[in-house]
Structure 1
Amino acid sequence: MKVLSHTLGFPRIGPYRELKKAQEKYWNSQITKEKLFNVGYNIRKFNLHKQINNNIDLLPVGDFAWYDHILNTSLMLGNIPVRFQEKINNSIDIDTMFYIARGSIHDKKSLNASKMTKWFNTNYHYIVPEFYKNQSFHFSWKQLLNELDEAIKMDFNNIKPILIGPLTYLWLGNKIQGNNFSRLELIKKILPVYIEILLEIKKRNIEWIQIDEPILALELPKKWLQAFKNTYDNLKNYINILLTTYFGSISHNIELIKTLPVNGIHIDLVNGKDNIEFINKNISKKWIISFGIISGRNIWKTDLKKWYDILLTIKNNRPFLWIGSSCSLIHTPVDLNLELKLNKKIKSWFSFAIQKCKELSLITQAINNNDSSELIQWSKFIHTRKLYKQITNEQVQKKILLIGNNIINNRKNYNTRSLLQKEKLKLPFIPTTTIGSFPQTLDIRKLRSDFKSGFITYDFYKKKMKNYIKNIINIQEKLDLDVLVHGEPERNDMVEYFGENLNGFIITENGWVQSYGSRCVKPPIIIGDISRNKPITVYWSQYAQSLTKKIVKGMLTGPITMLLWSFPRNDISPIEITKQIALALKEEIYDLEKVNIKIIQIDEPALREGLPLKKSEWNQYLKWAIEAFHLTISSTKDVTQIHTHMCYSEFKDIIHSIISLDADVISIEASRSNNNLIKLFKSLNYPNELGLGVYDIHSPNIPSINKIKNFLINALKNISFKNLWVNPDCGLKTRKWEEVIKSLHNMVKATKILRKKIQ
């Protein structure tokens, strides 16, 4: 039987971020809905053609999303948050999606956007579904069927629709506060909609459907595991189901999986590390087994010859075998061929989404033809990496050896530090600040681009940047914020910027991946040992501080976030990489202190997403994550106040580890999660200071003075004013200046009203 290739999904942003640009133009009323739809059509067509041109046997349809694939599913099921229902008047369309994702206004009332959080342990964010007791569902938004019809019309016959599984969808959602029920109760309401969808797909003569149930990689509660059998009993007999898992191993759930009435299973062998022989032995030979051997989350070429030797033995005793990407390719850049400036030798180590399709084609054909000669040629570049001079830095490796496992944080306890800091900083109670970045205008982006392209001199670039920083400081002073930032106009991205300025990283031109909605990031690639040979942020921080008598924060990205938001090397452990980054940041802190920067913020928004999927493995990860933060600040003066920032994560999972970080101030997102997080910190008697993100920066809505004031009054029921800071919930780089100034004005005004009440 012929082995088939397939992907679990393809990047939906377009090779040049066409989707992002069209979305933002549509939101700003610069293009019509029809033009936006045309951009989406062209991206979908491009994706299918690129995969078919690289001999992919089964093409994914339904992997495209205008904002987020979980939000797609919510609209498909008619799951619209109650607060938006009056505004949309039962008419669900693409604007409904954008209202839910970004917030809106109705009858002069602000409608909060739905909560956004990380997609398992990735840097992709999804819009969290909201569930109510006795909720009803119906097949409402038919984008999937439209895309199937579109693909069929384009003469693509070998298509494989994709659906998020009903149990994963329920697991990822939130119960609305005050409704005492289990999300699992809703499965009986959702299943009829799924059956209706499967029947519609069957009418189109589709043979296979990919139903994603990545929660099978988790250690699920018993009642959730028990729900799988009944759920798939209801879905069988309509169409062949490929039950699709990814991001982790499934061996711990194999006894359940092998009893399910499906027709195949996809297993992520890159991130899961499942034993192939064990899986092969336990899965019926009547089933398709799909092995995900091409990484959907990193950019290194695959050792195809290694996998050929492994999979050939499986093929010889199993009639049905597919080979696929480990997960959807939305986590990788689109096309390596767009990288025109990369060193050719280094470039030969990489594989982006289109090239990963080529890898799938090569290994599938090799197994079908029993000929691995092309694979040897493809994989030979992998083995040249270790010989490349830029990989190894003996000085860095010696420092890591000296540290060993004994990371000592020399700072005194928080109570002692706090007294010293209050004496030196002399801030008002309930200080106001921002998270770091201010709007990145087209002028700023062009200035950076012109400098990198050599069109302008460094002196001209520096002069213009200083003007931007001076303006940002002036605006903050007029707003009367208490602790200022320099605004980061020189930075393209909080990770990429540091990657550009540290040894061991390389930066791509077009290596974009989607983080959420229209937000794309360009992760740097870690190719070798990491070191710092000059200060990175010191000049700009020192200049900003010279412009004002108020305190200006130094702004750094933490070691865990630097690791997780890069494409890391895969030849040494994540622990060793993180230690190298921490040592470089430690040197930066030392230099910031030398120029009298009194507050330094070390952002770790990725700390939660790095958790292994299995809770039994959490402690090991959290131990080295905390140690990396401690190594970063281990020589910091007690009088220097250390802040950290985290956003859009389930903090309850790691609250004890957050406390163990022992940052003087932690800033958290609180605007979408209401008071739940604050209550959590209170319940654990969190002793340090807490910065509350009082408004949602991902929404264009301007928070009123009253709304922020009332939010803070409620917050003070759970936290002492002596421990409270006030800030937006994230950086402001994606917002317009007009929105920023109005929002910050209201934030400062609300805080001042509160101070008077307390006095």
Structure 2
Amino acid sequence: MTTAFPKATIVGYPRIGRRRELKKAVEAYWAGRTSAAELEATAAQLRTDTYARLATLGLEAGNYSIPASFSLYDQVLDTAVTFGAVSERFKDLYDADGSLGLDAYFTLARGDKERQPLEMTKWFDTNYHYLVPEIGPDTAFSLANDWILRDVAEAAEAGFAVRPTLIGPVTFLLLSKAADEAPAGFDPLSRLDDLLPLYVELLGRLAEAGVDWVQLEEPALVADQAIAETELAAAVERAYAALTAGADRPSILVTTQYGSLGSLLPVLAGTGIDALHIDVFKGAVPVPAELANLGATVLVAGVVDGHNIWKADLGAAAYKVAELEAGVQTLAVATSTSLQHVPHDVEDEQQLDAQLRSWLAFADQKVAEVVTLSRAIGHPGAIDADIAAADEVLASRAGAPGVNRTEVRERAAALTPSDFARGDYADRQAAQEGALNLPALPTTTIGSFPQTAEVRSARARANRGDLTAEQYEQLMKDEIKRVIDLQEELGFDVLVHGEPERNDMVQYFAENLDGFDVTVHGWVQSYGSRCTRPSILWGDVSRPAPITVPWAEYAQSLTGKPVKGMLTGPVTILAWSFVRDDLPLGDTANQVALTLRDEVSDLEAAGIKVIQVDEPALRELLPLRKEDQAEYLEWSVNSFRLSTASAAPSTQIHTHLCYSEFGAIIDAIDGLDADVTSIEAARSRMEVVHDLEAHGFKRGVGPGVYDIHSPRVPAEQEVVELLEKAVQHVPARQLWVNPDCGLKTRGYAETEESLRNLVNAAVAVRAQLGASVS
């Protein structure tokens, strides 16, 4: 290796921009308001600004401590496009020279009129969504895009030696799915030996460009996989033996974030890689015998949490650094994961209470923590003053008002098993049929309707004080009436109020519950150009007053059809917030669940007969190792049941889940005991119905027929075909017809056309089925 690995580094950094500059630039390009050159200029400025910022925070400009982790949309998509991993349905996207350019890249991500985009699912145990490559036995890999080389040259011209990043070959294939044209049972990992020469070639080209270090990300190695552990170990050995064999290559850092490598640590250590990153914040510190396998390989210790926003316990982290330093030849300090999961800078949040702000570390503060901890390598005691200051912060947080509230904890402690159980489903089903009188294949939507510029403007003006509370309420009521009238005109059976008053499905509740705070600029990328502002759950949780009841009650007054009350479930509120780390998650989930239980009771008292408690993040928090999953599934399922178990038999409880591998948690979904479950299915083309059939799922279910994460409008016949597939595997009497998710991010024109096609398709399939669904 020509450049020694730096003592301080990070795995990745937020790429959306401090004020969401990338989001705005990408969406302007999609809308045709700007050119490709203008988009590229904005992206280039964001990259160089990031490198300069990281240098000011203590990462050196010339020693490869700064990763080039930028992406226009998604890092897995970047790797797929780099290696031409494109299935037959996208083959026409190649340019004449065999490259995949910008428009091809975005077509894979968003689809077009003729075809759906790549499937999207959650990235390990985070709320980030990646695009799932489609690979078949005949997928012709090639170096189809050279953006990675461009980025390196761009950085060098600006004075930075950056570390280019790619998804490693084993993780890339494990995260891929079999293309439509692949035979049954085909495993993309079987193409490893075909893909490796392209990685080797790219490494050679990077070496020619003067790159000394490259980062290959292998987080799939910390998760249990469908294949045998011995087979996975053999794939890792084969891959990295090939990648390290060449003399003309950069030094290779392999990152393994989100958990422990376990038995694969010695496997990777023995392959000849030059540095290995392990997550010792979430994962265990390896024992000395395991560390001895590393030899001259640099150990990069992920001791600073990249996934949450609390200031580090520097004392505990320094202890881990000392443990590891004693067992390896060369040690470096890093974040546990990419910092793409946290906002940029806590100093942007001056509106937060000063004490709360003192407890927080966003991306920039975490870089500073890494640099501080690196000073302890070889110099015990060098950061004693920093540790003492961190201890004062921890003590301040532990004793702050609201962190521990006796009345909240006593209520949770008094719960009994009966608080988590509803009556028999057959009895509930009969009561609900009498109360609701719905047709076969009833139609509904997931909750939100498009948030127009007028709605967003009204919220902003109300926040500034430019609208009175009465004026704002009337504008929201006007929008609710518009949404109800539209659904009546389209012919929906169960309506929603559209949620115009909600900025975000979690933040809205956080703003109305004690124990939470919210940010102004704390944006985090969810997928592509979609960003969220996770709330900060810092204390014990309670509900000062009803939250959703007045809006639901007003909406129900406008129609004789049932209108759903809309709540966000306890697990999702936790998953999509930065949740406290000083209390077991199950305890916090029950606190949130009790506030929702009270809301359910108040909605029932207001005459709401259908209540949806969304849990799209149920799969997200599932531990990556099977041995750890049972405990999580017990408390997560129970917290949902606690939220809903007080509902009367005639009250129909819905839930919603999206963009997850449902087969992995189908027992847990059943265990929620919801009367109706709506789930993502359009982008995966109804794959989930096989899981439902195999499980024998007995309650109502709505596999989505309209992918709302793409701007394309599904044709009526396309929806008919999806429903026809669904009824082949799930009894028609159980099926509901709905989109995949809420419609907040879509425009009204495409939404109306898509929903009209959805309702018409449902009517057509009802007619086909006739009396068979009665």
Go from structure 1 to structure 2 and tell me whether the alpha carbon gap of 1:161 and 1:607 turns closer, same or farther (over 3 Å shift): same
Pick from 90, 95, 101: which aligns with 1:93?
101
- Name the structure 2 match of 1:704: 715
Pick from 473, 480, 484: which aligns with 2:484?
473
For the pair 1:130 / 2:140, whether they are aligned, the reply is no
The 2-side partners of 1:278 and 1:330 are apart by 33
The 1-side partners of 2:637 and 2:326 are apart by 47
Describe the superposition over 1:590-638 as per-residue Cα deviations: whole angstroms up to 9, x where unpaired: 0000001000011111111111111121111111111111111121111
Pick from 55, 69, 91: which aligns with 2:75?
69
The 2-side partners of 1:196 and 1:16 are apart by 37
- SS of the equivalent of 2:8 reads strand
Pick from 252, 257, 262: which aligns with 2:263?
252
Deviation at 1:190, TM superposition (A): 0.5
Deviation at 1:323, TM superposition (A): 0.4
Pick from 560, 578, 582: which aligns with 1:549?
560
- Name the structure 2 match of 1:511: 522
Pick from 320, 345, 356: which aligns with 2:355?
345
* TM-score normalised by structure 2 residue count: 0.95
Written as runs of structure 1 = structure 2, the 5 A alignment for 1:536-615 is 536-615=547-626
For the pair 1:380 / 2:422, whether they are aligned, the reply is no
Q: 657-666 or 409-418: which moved more?
A: 409-418
Q: 577-586 or 48-57: which moved more?
A: 48-57
Deviation at 1:453, TM superposition (A): 2.5
- Name the structure 1 match of 2:239: 231
Deviation at 1:403, TM superposition (A): 1.7
The 2-side partners of 1:714 and 1:303 are apart by 53
- SS of the equivalent of 1:673 reads coil
| Aligned amino acid, residue 396 of structure 1 | V
Deviation at 1:350, TM superposition (A): 0.5
Alignment check: 8 A CA contact 2:419 2:646 kept: no
- Name the structure 1 match of 2:689: 678
The 2-side partners of 1:277 and 1:499 are apart by 44
- SS of the equivalent of 1:390 reads coil
For the pair 1:182 / 2:187, whether they are aligned, the reply is yes
Alignment check: 8 A CA contact 2:688 2:703 kept: no
Alignment check: 8 A CA contact 2:511 2:517 kept: yes
- SS of the equivalent of 1:323 reads strand
Q: 642-651 or 181-190: which moved more?
A: 181-190
The 2-side partners of 1:278 and 1:349 are apart by 36
The 2-side partners of 1:407 and 1:161 are apart by 55
Pick from 413, 427, 440: which aligns with 1:416?
427
- Name the structure 1 match of 2:344: 334
Alignment check: 8 A CA contact 1:56 1:360 kept: no
Deviation at 1:472, TM superposition (A): 1.0
Pick from 81, 90, 95: which aligns with 2:87?
81
Go from structure 1 to structure 2 and tell me whether the alpha carbon gap of 1:617 and 1:51 turns closer, same or farther (over 3 Å shift): same
- SS of the equivalent of 2:588 reads helix
The 2-side partners of 1:629 and 1:456 are apart by 37
The 2-side partners of 1:353 and 1:189 are apart by 38
Deviation at 1:195, TM superposition (A): 0.4
Written as runs of structure 1 = structure 2, the 5 A alignment for 1:426-505 is 426-505=437-516
The 1-side partners of 2:109 and 2:636 are apart by 31
For the pair 1:395 / 2:407, whether they are aligned, the reply is yes
Go from structure 1 to structure 2 and tell me whether the alpha carbon gap of 1:535 and 1:278 turns closer, same or farther (over 3 Å shift): farther
| Aligned amino acid, residue 354 of structure 2 | K
Q: 604-613 or 198-207: which moved more?
A: 198-207
Alignment check: 8 A CA contact 1:60 1:162 kept: no
The 1-side partners of 2:89 and 2:537 are apart by 44
Q: How many residues align?
A: 752
For the pair 1:121 / 2:125, whether they are aligned, the reply is yes
Deviation at 1:335, TM superposition (A): 1.2
The 2-side partners of 1:2 and 1:438 are apart by 50
The 2-side partners of 1:422 and 1:647 are apart by 26
- Name the structure 2 match of 1:142: 146
Deviation at 1:91, TM superposition (A): 4.5
- SS of the equivalent of 1:727 reads coil
Pick from 308, 329, 336: which aligns with 1:298?
308
- SS of the equivalent of 1:526 reads strand
Q: 590-599 or 306-315: which moved more?
A: 306-315
Alignment check: 8 A CA contact 1:229 1:261 kept: no
Alignment check: 8 A CA contact 2:306 2:342 kept: yes
Deviation at 1:369, TM superposition (A): 5.0
The 2-side partners of 1:378 and 1:54 are apart by 18
- Name the structure 2 match of 1:209: 214
The 1-side partners of 2:201 and 2:522 are apart by 39
The 2-side partners of 1:476 and 1:663 are apart by 24
Q: 694-703 or 166-175: which moved more?
A: 694-703
Between the aligned residues of both structures, percent identity stands at 39
Pick from 137, 160, 165: which aligns with 2:163?
160
Gaps of 5+ in 2: none
The 2-side partners of 1:342 and 1:279 are apart by 44
Deviation at 1:4, TM superposition (A): 0.9
Deviation at 1:573, TM superposition (A): 0.5
The 2-side partners of 1:346 and 1:675 are apart by 45
| Aligned amino acid, residue 607 of structure 2 | N
Gaps of 5+ in 1: none
Q: 510-519 or 266-275: which moved more?
A: 266-275
Deviation at 1:139, TM superposition (A): 0.7
Describe the superposition over 1:619-658 as per-residue Cα deviations: whole angstroms up to 9, x where unpaired: 1111111111111112111100001111111001011111
| Aligned amino acid, residue 82 of structure 1 | E
- Name the structure 1 match of 2:202: 197
The 1-side partners of 2:393 and 2:270 are apart by 42
- Name the structure 2 match of 1:25: 28
The 2-side partners of 1:161 and 1:410 are apart by 52
Written as runs of structure 1 = structure 2, the 5 A alignment for 1:3-82 is 4-57=7-60, 58-82=64-88
- Name the structure 2 match of 1:738: 749
Written as runs of structure 1 = structure 2, the 5 A alignment for 1:311-322 is 311-312=321-322, 314-315=324-325, 318-322=328-332
For the pair 1:695 / 2:694, whether they are aligned, the reply is no
Alignment check: 8 A CA contact 2:306 2:335 kept: yes
| Aligned amino acid, residue 52 of structure 1 | A
The 1-side partners of 2:362 and 2:52 are apart by 16
The 2-side partners of 1:320 and 1:687 are apart by 57
For the pair 1:218 / 2:223, whether they are aligned, the reply is yes
- SS of the equivalent of 1:683 reads helix
Deviation at 1:86, TM superposition (A): 2.1
- Name the structure 2 match of 1:286: 296
* TM-score normalised by structure 1 residue count: 0.96
Pick from 97, 102, 117: which aligns with 2:110?
102
Alignment check: 8 A CA contact 1:77 1:140 kept: yes
